[in-house]
Amino acid sequence: MKILCCVLHEYYGLPGTVNHSYNYFVETLREMGHRVHNFDYGHQSFDRGAMNDFFLSIVKHGAYDMVFIALREDEFFPEVLDEAKHHTVLLAWNTDDDMHWADYSSQYCPHFTYMVTTYSHVYEANKAAHPNLLLSQWGCTGHYDGLTTRKDIDFGFVGKLYSTRAKEITRIRRHLPLVANGMGFGIPLNLRGKLTRWMIAKLGISCSKESSILADEAAVKGIWNRTKISYTPLESWVEGCLQIKARVFDMGLSGTVMLCSKNPALYEFYEPGRDYVEFDSVDDCISKAKFLLRHEKERCWIAEAYYKRTRAEHMWSHRFEKLFAEIGLPT
**Average pLDDT in the 36-51 region?**
88
- The pLDDT value recorded for residue 15 is 76
- The 10s digit of each residue's pLDDT in 45-67 is 779 999 999 999 999 999 999 99
Domain ranges of the chain: 2-138+315-327, 153-309
2-138+315-327 and 153-309 in the same fold: yes
The alpha carbon of 110 is separated from its chain's Cα centroid by a whole number of angstroms, namely 25
Q: Which of 179-183, 191-195, 290-294 has the highest mean pLDDT?
A: 290-294
Angstrom distance (rounded) from CA 159 to CA 183: 7
pLDDT above 50: residue 306: yes
Spell out where the chain has E strands. Answer: 2-6, 35-38, 66-70, 89-93, 114-117, 133-135, 153-158, 179-181, 227-232, 257-261, 277-279
Q: Output the pTM of the full model.
A: 0.89
Return the closest-CA partner of residue 96 out of 70, 117, 123. 117
pLDDT above 70: residue 151: yes
Q: Do the Cβ atoms of 47 and 53 come closer than 8 Å? A: no
- Where is average pLDDT lowest: 54-68, 109-123, 143-157, 180-194? 180-194
pLDDT above 70: residue 198: no
**Average pLDDT in the 247-274 region?**
97
Query: To the nearest whole percent, how much of the chain has pLDDT over 90?
Result: 72
- The pLDDT value recorded for residue 252 is 98
- The better pLDDT of the pair 277, 43 is held by 277
The answer as to CATH 3.40.50.1820 being correct for domain 2-138+315-327 is: no
pLDDT above 60: residue 202: no
Burial 105-140 (b: 16+ CB within 10 A, else e): bbebbebbbbbbbbbeebbeebeeebebbbbbbbbb
For domain 153-309, the CATH architecture is 3-Layer(aba) Sandwich (3.40)
- The pLDDT value recorded for residue 183 is 67
- The pLDDT value recorded for residue 315 is 98
> How sure is the predictor about 1, in pLDDT bands with cuts at 50, 70 and 90?
very high
